[in-house]
Amino acid sequence: MSFLARIFLILLPVLIFIFYGKVLLIDDKKSNDYFEPKEFPVFQLNNFDGIPTNLDIISGVKLLNVWASWCITCLVEHPFLSKLAESQIEIIGLNYKDDKTKALDWLKRHGNPYTSLIYDPRGDLAFDLGVTGAPETFLIVDQKIVGHIQGELNEDKWKSTFLPIIQNSQKELN
């Protein structure tokens, strides 16, 4: 085997690994840094008391959290949501494909971090939002969806994804 062939043998994998590393890092940035703002879809659903809710409850800076009593991860993120609620962040709970009594029971047992609730037993609004499962959380500023997290919302994701967007939008307001 010639010297060049030996160099090539080593260089080829080096290039491959560098390439994959680059792709990995780019992918990471893409998913975190930029989110195309979308209008919040129009909907007509009731809350648990049977009172109709609509776009009016979505104003200012709000989180919309998709949850269900059958969802284990929702229970995992529940303490963090409660912490957010304590720090005056308004969270709308979108109850997704759930049973009303089970959902109410769940809130009673674990505590209610939500300022308002939307009951979506068939997943109509969830469908319009493009929800694939629970939990998912949307960040909404002035009826525009500006952030979306699939899966558990935790301290890390809050700090890395939602908090910068909120700070930016507040800067723009000022």
Partner 1 sequence: MIGEIAHFFSLSAALLLIITLLLNTIFFFSNPNSNQLILSIRLFNQSCWLIFVSFGLYIYLAITDDFSISYIASHSNSQLPIFYKIASIWSAHEGSMFLWIVFLALWSSLFINGLDKNNPLKKLTLIMLILVILGFLLFLLITSNPFSRILPFGVMDGADINPILQDPALAIHPPILYLGYVGFVISFSYVMAYLCKGNFKIEWEEDIRAWSFVAWIFLTVGITLGSWWAYYELGWGGYWFWDPVENVALLPWLAATAFMHSLYASSKSNILKTWTLFLGIMIFSLSLFGAFIVRSGIIDSVHSFANDPQRGLYLLGFSGLMTLLSLVIFAYRIPAINSSKPVITGSKESFLSMNNILMVTSIFSIFLGVTYPLILESFSGEKVSIGPPYYNTIFAPLILIASILIMISVDSLWQRKMLARKFFRSIIPTFILVTSIIYIFWSLIKEFSLLAYIGIFSGLIILVAYFIKIISSLKAKEYINKGSAFAHIGLGILFLSISVNSLLSYQKNINLSVGESLRINESIESFKFSNLNVRTASNHDVISANVFVLMDGVSVNLNPEKRKYSTRGQITSETAIHATPFKDIYLNIGDQLEDGSWTFSLKINYFVKWIWLSSALMVLGMVLAMQKRKI
Q: Which residues bind partner 1 (CB under 8 A)?
A: 1, 6-7, 9-10, 13-14, 16-17, 19-28, 31, 70, 72-73, 75-76, 79, 97, 151
Q: Which is nearer to partner 1, 48 or 70 (CB)?
A: 70
Provide, rounded to whole angstroms, the least separation between the CB of residue 15 and partner 1.
Answer: 11
| Whole-angstrom distance, CA of residue 53 vs CA of residue 42 | 11
Provide, rounded to whole angstroms, the least separation between the CB of residue 80 and partner 1.
Answer: 12
Q: Which is nearer to partner 1, 115 or 154 (CB)?
A: 154
Name the nearest CA neighbour of 56 among 118, 110, 119: 118
Under 8 Å between Cβ of 157 and 73: no
Helix, coil or strand: residue 67: strand
> Could you identify the residue written with the tokens 């930029």?
34
Provide, rounded to whole angstroms, the least separation between the CB of residue 88 and partner 1.
Answer: 23
